[in-house]
Structure 1
């Protein structure tokens, strides 16, 4: 027996030393060591001949400046075995001769090394990783019908990785994209689980009519394609996304033609990798959603006292019944057990039998403090030498914030991508995607609005009035719903919505030669929507308490909607590349055909036999049915030609000839070309001395035009309308009526968007990336109403191409990434953008009325009066310019005084035109300006941190919401205005006297809000278990994380409003989440 002083050496090395020169040897089979007769060296030699021997390979990984890199993944290709470098860059991994080692590290180029014999590594393996080339210039960027090196791009293109969307506690990809790319403007209407964010690229796009029938500037959405197939962005599972690319200028988008006038969003989904063993991944997160803001409502006593105090502002005495009500409210609030929530009517102005004196908070009654949401995602990917695959499935379940009749949202996604190289020259790709959502919420009868309307109702219908009458109420009216508007939420009405979408696509590729290929896409998409609304009868106690009424819900009703939308697509395109002596040519030509069919069927029935069987067939009242159908198609041929010389001088042209069925045959076809050029001045010999500092600098410019066919179907075709029955009797019957068709313009054609863009891209110190674009986009031939004809004609004027607008703006993107000597890796990306849109032609308003569009108008203009201050006494009122044209009522101390800007004898809005706008002026602009995002990522050892800030640098808003102004507009109010309103004791208060006087809150400078804000949009902290631990439990990767969404914000907007919403609507959501990611 002998002792060997061996410490921390591999087992095989220790055994070889122990059995050296012995008469027996050993054999290792899995975890068992077996002794064998014979000398160790002979037995070992036999074993080595029988099977390859593993041995520990040690080494060090450094960067190009010889600094050690910690956290580098050292992985045996095709296995789940490997190691992570320590703080000194050291690693040790068991290998066999001939193994392939892969070294990967964020921000550095991956590297592969084939293992040689042990004798070749006397001092270990020395690896030097190089940083990724400046601005990832060799990275491929997704463009129309292909990819290009980022270095060769000449258009305005932004791209982010799907990793930027991961681990965010949001329900859809639109929320995750907000603030990540410059001038990709994402607005979120509210915090409802079923809300889909709207996306706009670079500002104003066209005109549209508002609910009042007046034209306004529209901010249209980009054309969105997923793996080359048109698809709604809400149908994409964020976990499936590989890249998101936005083509912003006409030169980049022209190849897509008809629907790409205002940008293109290209989403690619994840795919398997060649020679990759199956990787099963699972991730989840569980989160709690909270309303981001809660209004601080006045209580019943404060509201009634403010009402009573208001009488003194107009030199009146408080009526007896109002004082009695105030006393009763005070008594109830002090002792609700011994004082009823109502009193009997007394002599005075109130004619009701009952007066409510309770103290309710409608927000607390309607809204939960927290609601749950969960997401689960599972995927399987892998591949062989010829076939790759990726499959995923996900589920999202989210409860809304309704406390009564809770709204609920569910989403199911499934995605499958398969690619197989069948021969050396033929590859087939197959894609399928399935999407299904279910949403339910309470529904309100016509004219009653949403639950948030309850917050702004008159106090007698929410603050003072409970949801139901007490059980011991008089007149036998106990336990019934009251006139509280929240009763519509609680009583059982229901709105159900179900959306189901299926995509099937195949894409064959023929590789004719090394440089020439032909590819096709054939896809079918089915979109189905089913909706059902159930409104039972709601009996509510009348204000007299003598009867009940169901005026808003009688008769009961059930209605159903079925909509079907089918999309068919064919693409066929071919590309060819050729290079010689530094000249690089690339050409692509293709054909595109798309068909769309839509049909819907609507039915309704009144008087349900029982709400338990809410089907139209079980109604006994009037039944109605209607349907509709439409179809349209687009066809185009397109091309792309690119040339570059030694990667320095870049030239590209894109174009498309489009045909659309939405216009007459004579004008439905049009050619839309574009051209762009670039100069990589950093590659010139005279810039060589600056190369270590100025690593890359490229100037580029582009100009192009694209047609816009996103208009209504059949606008060029005279269409008859029908009515179910006319009012007159013919032979004792009311026949179906037919409306004559309106007038149409046979020459109607495309709107055209033309964009001029100049930009630069540069990289400094191999760490700092900067990209800037300035653009000018003009949309011409916008569809508007034609010239008005005499009324005796009996028909409206036809639509014609006669409008024009101009949008000028810029985009800025700055990225910085580095690594400290302590092993901290970090990157910071900053995006900033701005635009302004102006009307340059609008013939429909020759007098330039301010109530609609006019030439010279900028999008978002706010017209209002200039505030002087608050009248303090009658003497000031008597000396001031008359304000009777604003409001003919008597003006009192505590009312607003407005400036006389035109010097006449009365304050007014003049003729309401640009030439005569009286005392009004442009006081602000509601367009969000200087939208920005700051996305920061940090990693240290196994910890990672993401901090994402988003906001708007400049925006004006005038809040006219009843909830904000409270009693000034005859509504329930908040403490913000009440405690800062004028009284004789508060002469310098910000707000006017707290009484019902809408004349005091017309649009004016004093109450214009600064709606700029900055928000901590996302905060994620993660920890990945060390591989040494993970491998022991049979996993490849295990990461835990916590995340927060909308955690903090700074804004000067009153706290009751979210700066993104600026209205009393379904509130924005603040979320806290925990989750995990595991790879098997």
Structure 2
């Protein structure tokens, strides 16, 4: 009986496949004659030609063809995939071969081939359809989400040679901004969602108002905790709730988003023990290539000569430096200035960066975990250890971190379950500390060439003096100054669950978190020789001292909530949750400092000088009632509302509570009947919209609505033998002081195509209103500053795109690629304190966008005195003479002079907005691939657009330790086409301007990791389940436009960003 060929096989390219098949079969039927005409190996060749060509059709459960399905002959590498009509064709060498049919989102099938035609119906993978996402106080099906929620799992965090969780999270979630300020081992990440959140007073200067990038509310297993203290190996998933609709259930704590970190838990079954390690070596990504001592002095001389300055003394020093650099063996790094041989001038050649920085520093990490259980109890426990040296060559800084975690879940009976968690995290960091008068190590190194370049750290023996140190900044680093800081926290948490029915549960979360910081600082007195032999200097801004600081805090949290789910008529699906939350927090700190330290016994009791002490105690509390109501009709029309009635101790009683609601809607178009025909191609398409408001209670101070007396430190004179403490009068308080409110509107869609490609997009606007700013100024005679009032408003608008492609090929290559792209801009909508719109970094104005850079438009570099004489007058921005080689600015308002007008937006003179420092178009590209026993991860991250004004001595040089890059491209009479102005210390050339605005865009290979899993046949012999070895690199290279002196993520003078290489092993027993 003939088999009927399905109509689907006659469609499209199936037609020409049959036309080709007919002559091919005729050719094979002549095989005997053909075999006689070829070599004696003909039987084997004929066998290959006689392969059976099998065709098939793959459909889903609704009878629709499935494209892109993998078809593999079991036990071979022979594979193919279905075309757009669900049709495939494959050649088989043997009868009764088995085909493995697989596709993402469907259950894999094995089909025995018994004929030339195969029909396969793939069933949907229920687990994939039921994929859940962690949300506030529970989970939801991913398909039913209506808010802006992003989630990543532990697989995306693995295989990265990172020192902390922040490094691992950078670039993985669109508009989740992770900033790591520098490469110091103790520097943790700061987090921000969707751009600027408010504006407030500058923490370093209370007279300045600036935009602020507030942090989201970060919870670890439901408890607020510092994520920088966590062990990345313990993380199961990270979920980010971005819009108000998703975060509203957390009320005021989630005003600017919520991050939910879930740690790993036991899976039940046999106990698995996993050990992993990583050995890493780190080096700076960018180190200033500073000028040598002779070139710095030569630049000073030439700069003075250009301006007809006196150079005789400088020329003498130049000759002496050259003499030493030409023959450092037979010359000393100093010379005498008089016959008495008492006064000296240093002429050494020291590169403080090379002397202070290691070329490479080690780090090792070890992690041991075990998990398992039975049908009633599961557990996961881990212990982590990290030992990381910093980059200081002198008194090397070091970080040690210990992490311990235990998660236990026990099903007591059919209706009661108890989850228990305990965690301990501890870190100790020790580093040398610089005196305040030196401005920090990195600032000091870039300044004062006479001290840090010409002056060696140790006094040469030829001076015949007992003192061994000089005034070089490296001396302070070497002498024994240190700060030793220990941070620890311990968490105890329990979560009971009562199941009244399958649809109704009652849950509780009870937790206690204790934090502790202990810091000890030692700054000995450093006697040093500067310029007079036998005369020693001890003067510095900070006297020698020893100090101690102790901080303790305790946080208690209680959550009680119940949820109920109900389906009516198989179509109407309801789920409701209501609950109560209360948190209260207390903190105490105490500090003491005493001068006159005894370096042999560095304790406060043995110090001989004046002692100062201080302490404080604070507390706050919040509580609220919250709810979530969700409804969907047949999984097509989705509705959700979250809300919370919130109260905080930070506001006065009659303004303490406020209700913050939200609503979100979704429409799954692909669940409609009219869309069924495209569902094999467009698997899921959902439109989303949300609106909600949240309060912000993170205002300055714990009780800002109360008039408070202040205390001043011990004053500087004695009364009856003691230093009294002063009392300051209270400031003014606005009686209407209340919540800031962040209102967010969000539109987005989620799209899945061919079960391989996922696209998520959101556009949003967040308006923060009633921002606290200083009120209108009162007359100075009042003697008090203006109270803060709720009168500011700002908007942040942005969008974010996430694209993920995942594929498992028929020949064994599995890969996925995730791309993220986002943008955000913030603008002041209302700011009553600046009606004239003054342009200043100390105040904002209405219409100002975050990151605006005001400056002059550069018109080139003056080439002659005639050009200067005929150009618009520039003396209003810098008095004194101008010279060839100086910057020429453009006269924008045509008044024949360069000026800044009255310094307002309406009259800015010759200044305009020349750029914006806000990072725009931030992107990430994360790729994973595995083939046989090999796996590969490549992660690229960067910023598409950013302007930077670099105003520091490393960039400009001229009188400080500048760099070769600037020096070699500076104007001289012989090099008139240079990019930079003449290399001299001239503030007039450093006015903010367009020519020297740096392009801060960059693309960086953030992570590259290659792993190999030892074949199971070998690991079985040594009783191991799995062994994987890996090699990886972090911050491997970058494409950037900023000067090579700087890293694109750190354009300034600070601890360098690091580049690292690591090797590791992971073994499961």
Provide TM-score, normalisation by structure 1: 0.87
CA contact under 8 A between 1:366 and 1:486: conserved in structure 2?
yes
Asked if the contact 2:102/2:109 (under 8 Å) is kept, the reply is no
Quick one: which of 174, 180, 188 aligns to 2:172? 180
Which residue does 1:36 correspond to in 2?
none
Deviation at 1:436, TM superposition (A): 0.2
**Displacement after TM superposition at 1:136 (Å):** 4.8
Q: Distance in 1 between matches of 2:324 and 2:1000?
A: 40
**Paired residue secondary structure (1:689):** helix
Residue 728 of structure 1, CA deviation: 9.8
Q: Is the 8 A contact 2:970 2:981 kept in 1?
A: yes
Residue 1043 in 1 paired to residue 1032 in 2? yes
Distance 1:990 1:727 in 2: 52
Equivalent position SS for 1:301:
helix
Match of 2:62 in 1: none
1:744 shift after superposition:
0.8
Aligned to 1:829: 818
Alignment of 1:135-284 (within 5 A): 136-210=128-202, 211-212=204-205, 213-274=207-268, 276-284=269-277
Secondary structure of 1:802's counterpart equals strand
Partner residue, 1:594: 583
Contact 1:207–1:217 under 8 Å retained in 2: yes
| Alignment-derived partner of residue 772 in structure 1 | 761
- Name the stretch that deviates more: 1025-1034 or 394-403: 1025-1034
Q: CA–CA distance in 2 between the matches of 1:71 and 1:224?
A: 49
Shift of 1:737: 3.7
Match of 2:366 in 1: 376
Report the CA distance shift for 1:724/1:300 in structure 2 as closer, same or farther (over 3 A). Answer: closer
Trace 1:113-152 onto structure 2 (pairs within 5 A).
Answer: 136-152=128-144
1:953 has 2:944 as partner: yes
Q: Does 2:855 correspond to 1:864?
A: yes
| Contact 1:472–1:478 (8 Å) recurs in 2 | no
8 Å CA contact 1:392, 1:414 repeated in 2: yes
Q: Per-residue deviation at 1:732?
A: 10
- Structure 1 counterpart of 2:554: 566
Does the aligned pair in 2 maintain the 1:659–1:670 contact within 8 Å? yes
The answer on whether the counterparts of 2:793 and 2:829 sit within 8 Å (CA) in structure 1 is yes
Structure 1, 1018-1027 or 897-906: larger mean CA deviation: 897-906
Are the aligned partners of 1:825 and 1:940 in contact in 2 as well (CA < 8 Å)? yes
CA distance in 1, matches of 2:730, 2:902: 36
Per-residue CA deviations over 1:171-212 (Å, capped at 9, x if unaligned) read 110110000000001111000000011110000101121234
Partner of residue 284 from structure 2, selected from 291, 294, 310: 291
Map Cα deviations across residues 733-769 of structure 1 (whole Å, 9 max, x no partner).
9865432211111221111000000000001111110
Provide the C-alpha distance between the structure 2 equivalents of 1:133 and 1:924, rounded to a whole number of angstroms. 51
Query: Is residue 614 of structure 2 the alignment partner of residue 626 of structure 1?
Result: yes
State the shift of 1:911 in Å: 1.5
Deviation at 1:716, TM superposition (A): 0.3
1:783 to 741, 749, 772: 772
Q: CA deviation at 1:876?
A: 0.4
Q: Which moved more, 1:1058-1067 or 1:717-726?
A: 717-726
Separation (CA, whole Å) in 2 of partners of 1:229 and 1:1038: 34
- Point out the more displaced range, 755-764 or 682-691: 682-691
SS in 2 for 1:743: coil
The answer as to 2:504 corresponding to 1:516 is yes
Deviation at 1:486, TM superposition (A): 1.7
1:70 positional shift: 8.2
Whether contact under 8 Å (2:628, 2:641) holds in the other structure is yes
The 1-side partners of 2:126 and 2:801 are apart by: 17
Q: Which segment drifts farther, 162-171 or 626-635? A: 162-171
Per the alignment, residue 711 of structure 2 pairs with: 722
- Are the equivalent residues in 1 in contact too, given 2:333–2:348 (CA < 8 A)? yes
Q: Secondary structure at the match of 2:486?
A: strand
- 1:71 and 1:1009 map into 2 onto residues whose CA distance is 56
Residue in 1 that maps onto 2:633:
645
Q: Deviations over 1:970-1028 (max 9, x none)?
A: 21110011000001111110001011112101110000011100000000000001112
Select which of 303, 306, 309 maps to 2:296: 303
Unaligned runs of 5+ residues in structure 1 are 1-61, 73-87, 91-102, 114-119
Alignment match of 1:463 (pick from 453, 456, 460): 453
Greater CA drift, 727-736 or 463-472: 727-736
- Which of residues 335, 341, 360 is equivalent to 2:350? 360
The correspondence of residues 597-996 of structure 1 with structure 2, limited to 5 A, is 597-608=586-597, 610-711=598-699, 712-723=701-712, 736-851=725-840, 852-967=843-958, 970-996=959-985
| Match of residue 328 from structure 2 | 336
When residues 106 and 403 of structure 1 are mapped into structure 2, their CA distance, relative to the original with a 3 A threshold, is farther
Q: CA deviation at 1:726?
A: 6.8
Q: Which residue of 2 aligns with 1:432?
A: 422
Q: Distance in 1 between matches of 2:101 and 2:602?
A: 60
| Structure-2 separation of matches of 1:441 and 1:497 | 9
Q: TM-score, normalised by structure 2?
A: 0.88
Hey, what does 1:1053 align to over in structure 2?
1042
Aligned residues: 975
Matched position secondary structure for 1:892: coil
Aligned-pair distance for 1:613? 2.1
Q: Which moved more, 1:653-662 or 1:899-908?
A: 899-908
Distance across 1 between alignment mates of 2:1002 and 2:457: 37
Q: Secondary structure at the match of 2:143?
A: helix
Consecutive unaligned residues of structure 2, counting only runs of 5 or more, are 1-57, 59-67, 78-91, 95-99
**2 CA distance for matches of 1:135 and 1:917?**
62
Contact 1:70/1:89 (8 A) holds in 2: no
CA offset digits 1:766-814 (Å, max 9, x no partner)? 1110000000000000111122112222211111111110000001000
Cα 1:106–1:426 change in 2 (3 A) is farther
1:70-128 Cα offsets, whole Å, 9 max, x none, are: 899xxxxxxxxxxxxxxx999xxxxxxxxxxxx99995667899xxxxxx9999xx999
From the superposition, tell whether residues 378 and 733 of structure 1 become closer, same or farther in structure 2 (CA, over 3 Å). Answer: closer
In structure 2, what is the Cα distance between the partners aligned to 1:71 and 1:557? 75
Q: Give the stretch that moved more between structures: 819-828 or 758-767.
A: 819-828
What is the alpha-carbon distance in structure 1 between the residues aligned to residue 864 and residue 1015 of structure 2? 75
Cα contact 1:537–1:553 (8 A) shared by 2: no
Alpha-carbon separation, structure 1, partners of 2:76 and 2:525: 66
SS of equivalent to 2:134: strand
RMSD: 2.6
